[in-house]
Structure 1
């Protein structure tokens, strides 16, 4: 596997986007000025359980636009993860799994985190957070949550120096 040189930058960019969403939600106004452009952020899903994340992932994978963009993507299971520090994607042969912490934390039970892990399934790339991953994240976010989020991610990734 190639060195995952962009990993920290990708995480920093996505954390910034999550903060933008959190601040907009706290203000009760999803209209934000973003790099000189007024953008209305889409609502972001929050999940109550691993089962609700599983239903969401199944629904996303069933979207015609997602099936068209990633026709070889098979199903993915969602399971609880014991630790609270990270969500992750794992694949071995035919089995693909997204593991999310469900106790003691809510950061992983949000749509942006789940989409990130789902992109690892759809665009299995080497390195894991390389340019193909970034392009797929922007595309999936735009398909699922709207073009505005695709734009926001592209701008923030560029600002962080992500290719």
Structure 2
């Protein structure tokens, strides 16, 4: 049985802060964090679930991701999700892992790289812990660092730490 995900709300609140920082970075992409000025990378935005599917496959093929995460060798199905309130990761009916992304006009918020990396992190994380627990947070930080760079990873590390997620 999977442990209860007691830190889920706290995790999502912290992650909303990270998303807000990326949204408000402006054209020069700089933000102030913990007394340091950082230049954030440009975050990919996707036009469709097909483009998310391609991105997920490319991320799982990155040499650094494959070296860091054993589960990167296992493919994941990316499908469109009905509704617009959430994206999610789960084992599908055939036992294959899947990421479901809303793509309706109300669900376009999910067609962004930070959301997709969050779902990939579920795929890469140890399935025995809480879905949004400490090991998941570390997996997400490591993945963000490998894909978007150390500045983006630092933003996650500081915000999640300050929010008592880590």
The TM-score with structure 2 as length reference comes to: 0.93
Hey, what does 1:15 align to over in structure 2?
A: 16
1:99-149, Cα deviation, whole Å (9 max, x unpaired): 000012321000000000000000133211111101000000000000001
Residue 162 of structure 1 deviates from its aligned partner by 0.6
- Structure 2 Cα separation of the partners of residues 13 and 65 of structure 1: 26
Hey, what does 1:120 align to over in structure 2?
A: 122
1:29-60, Cα deviation, whole Å (9 max, x unpaired): 20111120110001000000000000000000
Hey, what does 1:111 align to over in structure 2?
A: 113
- Structure 2 Cα separation of the partners of residues 79 and 72 of structure 1: 19
**What's the RMSD between the two structures over aligned residues?**
1.2
Write the mapping of 1:85-100 to structure 2, written as runs, cut at 5 A. 85-92=85-92, 94-100=95-101
Q: Tell me the number of residue pairs that the alignment of Structure 1 and Structure 2 aligns.
A: 161
Write the mapping of 1:1-163 to structure 2, written as runs, cut at 5 A. 1-24=2-25, 27-73=26-72, 74-92=74-92, 94-104=95-105, 105-125=107-127, 126-163=129-166
Is there any run of 5+ residues in structure 1 with no aligned partner, and where? none
Runs of 4+ in 1 over 6 A off after TM superposition: none
- Structure 2 Cα separation of the partners of residues 151 and 72 of structure 1: 24
- Structure 1 Cα separation of the partners of residues 71 and 108 of structure 2: 31
- Structure 1 Cα separation of the partners of residues 48 and 158 of structure 2: 31
Query: Could you tell me whether the CA contact under 8 Å between 2:44 and 2:112 is conserved in 1?
Result: yes
Is there any run of 5+ residues in structure 2 with no aligned partner, and where? none
